[in-house]
Every structure is written in structure tokens, then in C-alpha cells.
Structure 1
């Protein structure tokens, strides 16, 4: 038996604005996330754009604040690298200028410490005996976390994690 498909909510503009305000107040959102949510409410393009303008004016929606919060969370909690963070922001259709500004706000020492801690943690659980394969697996893992290749090599070499 199939689960019944959820019907999209059809809301009027005023109700949609109230729901969008509380949704944005709960957590920082990108304009694209809000736009998608408003379309789910059954609103038309001109209504959606009007509501987004209203949310920006009332400061419920701020793309720069969203980008900064996103970067901060991914660096401090998820321990992601800049490449993966940049991809995530691009998926949320954040402008390149804001992406750069947010990435530049990352503390360099903290970023390197995250890379080293991630490398050490992964190195402990790798069971590979062959040192070349081990190094390859470690580098591949760190790249999947979004760290830059040259930085990975520098940190691994400086901390003797390549043996």
C-alpha cells in the first residue's frame, strides 16, 4: 500500500508571509530556500518575489547573514573544508561575492586545526598496512571533507601523518 501523497498547501499571501516569517526566525535561510517554500504554498511568481522583498525589508531574510551562519556552522560543527562549504552555498544559490566574503571570515588557525584533527582521527581508524595506500586513503578522505589538496599535503607532511 502506498502512502498517500501530501497535497501542497494553498495559502493566501498574508498567511504565507506569517508562516515564512516564523520559518525564517527559527533558522537562517537562503533566498532560494524561502522561494522554494513559498512556491510549495501555491503562490505565483510575482507574489513570491513580493514576499521575499518584504522579508528582506523586515530583516527576516538576509543572504549575507545566512552565508556567515552557514560557513560558521560547517567549519565549527561539521569540520568541513572550504571547497565543500563553497559547493553547499552554490547549491543554495548564494551569490559568489557573498560566498567569498563568508569564506574569508574563516579563522585560518582554526581551519588548519580542524584539518589536522580530522586527519589524525581518520589516520587512527585506517587499517591499511601499505603506507602508499594508507596515504592515498587519507588524502582522498580529507578531500571528500572539502579540504584543499595543497593544504592537505602540507599538514600531513608537517605532522608526519604520511608514514
Structure 2
């Protein structure tokens, strides 16, 4: 039997949900739908969450960008696409990406590229290149960065 929530109960539950981790409107809305709230109640609850600062799309976007870059080592392309998927507007995405400094971005890219290259245990050079490039492109790094880096690493390897 599914629980039926009053607005008061739903607000309490959803405040806890938002306090635990930054959430975007989309996540909160789908959580409320799963709690069988109707759209008027959802609007009312979301308005309450915004007013009481439990829900802040800009804060979410910035925290998401920082976290995904520092912890999962995602590039800007992947972060941008994931934020768009969560219906975050372009202005907030741009603001969020400013959370990652250029130095930090390139530092992360360099370390990740180096580690990926060293851990790719492919003997066929073409296959190794492909695996390396696919991995970094999937992480959301810009193709020009990836292709320049693969050439640089190949040349360094052939010199050894």
C-alpha cells in the first residue's frame, strides 16, 4: 500500500531530500510525482522550497559542475550535457562552468590523460589510440585537446 502524503508531510520529506544533497527542480518534481502529489501541490511545494532556500537551481548547477569535475573528472562537454538533460538553463550552465578554473581543468585533463594512456593495455597502436580517445571524449573533454594529447603521448612513447 502506497503512503498518502499531506502537503505538510510532503514538505517535510522533500525538505529532508533537498537538505541531504543539492537537487534541481527536475529531481524534486519527479520525487513529488512519485509521492503521488498533484501538479498544484507540486507547484506549491516547489515555491515553498525556493522561498526557504532548500531549492536553488544556481547553487545546484555550481555544485554539480564542481563535483563532477573534481570527483568524476568530467570535461565541460559532459557537464553541460548533463545539466541540459536536467533542464538547467544556459545562463546557469555558463555560471556553473566558471566554478572550474582553467588551471584546474587542464591539470585534471593532463593527469587523466596520462593515467588513461598508461593504463590502456593495448599493444596495437591504433586500437590503443582509439580506446584512449574514446575514453576521454566520453568523459566530456574537447576533441582538439584529446587529439593533440594522443599525438603528444604517442611521440613521447616512440622516443623511449
Q: TM-score, normalised by structure 1?
A: 0.88
- Among candidates 85, 101, 108, match of residue 95 of structure 2: 101
Structure 2: gaps of 5 or more residues: 156-160
> Which of the residues 121, 128, 131 maps onto 1:127?
121
What residue number does 1:162 align with? 154
Out of 90, 104, 112, the position equivalent to 1:110 is: 104
- CA displacement at 1:79 relative to structure 2: 0.6
Contact kept, 8 Å, 1:156 with 1:162, in 2: the verdict is yes
- In structure 2, the residue matched to 1:50 is 44
Q: Structure 1 residues 86, 15: CA separation in 2 closer, same or farther (over 3 Å shift)? A: same
Deviation, 1:162, is 2.4
2:35 aligned residue: 41
Structure 2 distance, partners of 1:126, 1:50, is: 52
Q: Which has the higher helix share?
A: 2
TM-score (norm 2): 0.90
Q: How many angstroms does 1:54 deviate by?
A: 0.7
- What's the secondary structure of 1:105's corresponding residue? coil
List alignment gaps of at least 5 residues for structure 1: 1-6
How many residues in Structure 1 have an aligned counterpart in Structure 2? 155
Question: Cα RMSD (Å) of the superposition?
Answer: 1.4
| Cross-structure match for 2:158 | none
1: distance between equivalents of 2:3 and 2:58? 29
1:132 Cα deviation after fit: 3.0
Do 2:76 and 2:141's aligned partners in 1 also have CA atoms closer than 8 Å? Answer: yes
Match of 1:10 among 4, 8, 22: 4
8 Å CA contact 1:9–1:40 kept in 2: the answer is no
Deviates most, 58-67 or 137-146: 137-146
CA contact under 8 A between 2:129 and 2:150: conserved in structure 1? no
